Structures are given as structure tokens and as C-alpha cells.
Amino acid sequence: MALFLLGRRFFTCRADINMTAVHAYCSSVASGRQRVNGVDLYYEQTGRGRHAVLLLPGALGSTKTDFGPQLKSLNKELFTVVGWDPRGYGQSRPPDRDFPSDFFERDAKDAVDLMKTLGFSKFSLLGWSDGGITALVAAARNPNLINKMVVWGSNAFISQQDLKLYEGSICLELLPLISCPTLIIHGEKDPMVPSFHPQHLLQHIKGSRLHLMPEGKHNLHLKYADEFNKLVEDFLQQ
């Protein structure tokens, strides 16, 4: 769900994360900063597999807060996993975070350019919440670079049912441009993203598929990490 629309969501979402997302990191995780588009972006990298995967965190999130179980447990023989802090988040400061009207486009460009700077010519995207929106934009803008994509807790537009603060498109017009195989995961108990959002993504991203988790909430990849990781690994290997 779009960050700039949901003031209340900041606190609810981050509270969920703080209770479940602090996991021990594998000792093989390397970290550093890369200069990308004028800012120093923090990243963490683990694994030695041929299939590169970029993790895109949610609103106000970082690789440490949002993806501990994925950095720790995704198969390191099959995948090289990169987590990053978008500009103004986590350890990618300075600069302070700002929210111009095109910040999803900016984050998408930063994410793709970071991976290219790290030497990855093609890679997959795992995007949660606002990070899922960034992933949708990145996949639409860079069809030749994106291998596969998994998104959850994300939306492409705002409706009156979404807190009634704003109504419009976030990246709705870009969905038909997405050509990579896409897995949409939705927690049926997600209080922040109504079920019509993943259904809309399913209808407008060609060849996409939808997996429902009946007990899943917004942070399903943290609370049900083993199930989520297995689902992602199977999809990425197909």
C-alpha cells in the first residue's frame, strides 16, 4: 500500500515488523555501500547461486527490519540474495527521505541501477508492500533485466476503500508492460490491502498467478517465513 497515502499504516506495519523480524543473520552475509544516482545505497548480499534476487522493503523499512528470514534461509546454493535500503531509509542516509510525486519511479531506478552496479545483468525481484509497488515499476520499465517477480501486500491504485484519503493511479498504467513471470501472494487476513488489489494485479499482469495464504496478514513473509520461502524458491526455479 502506498506510503504517502497511509499515515496510520506506518505505525501499524512497523509495529508488526518489530515483533517478528529480528532474526540472526547468516555469517556469510556481506554488506557495503555503493554510489548510485548520487547517493550511497546500503546493501547486504548472501549466497552464491547463479540466480540473483533483489529484496525490496516496505514503507520506512530496510533489509535488516524486513527480510531477516529471507537473507538467512533462502537457498544459498541456488540464489544470490541482495537486500537494500532505499535512499533515506535505514543505512542509506544521508540523504533524509523525501517523497516527490515520482518517488516510486526513483526507487525503481535506484534498485535496478544498484544491481547493475553490483554486476548483475539479470535478476528477480521480491517486493513487499511499498517495495512491491517499486518492483512493479521496475519490472515494467526494465523488461529485459527482470527474470521473475514476486509481490505481496502491494497495490497499483487507490480506491475509496483505502482509508479514503486519496484516489488515483500509482502504477496502474504500467501493469500491461510487465512481461516477466509474476507470482502475487496475498494474505487473506491482511488488514491493509483488500483482496481486490491482488485480483486486479492478476487480471492486468499477463501470465501472472495468485497464491492465497488464508491466515496471512501484511507481514506474512515474516510470520510464515518457512512456507513463504519455500513458495518463492519453487516459483523462482520453475
Give catalytic status of residue 23 as yes or no: no
For residues 108 and 138, the answer to whether their CB atoms sit within 8 Å is yes
Say which of 107, 190, 197, 221 is annotated catalytic.
190
Say which of 129, 130, 208, 221 is annotated catalytic.
129
Q: Side chain identity at 128, as an amino acid letter? A: W
Separation between Cα atoms, residue 5 and residue 116, nearest integer Å = 31
DSSP H/E element including 196:
helix 196-204
Cell digits for 89? 531509509
H helix intervals, the chain: 7-20, 63-66, 68-73, 103-117, 130-141, 196-204, 220-223, 225-237
Looking at the DSSP bridge assignments, the partners of residue 52 are: 80
Give catalytic status of residue 179 as yes or no: no
Give catalytic status of residue 234 as yes or no: no
Catalytic residues, by residue number, are 129, 190, 218
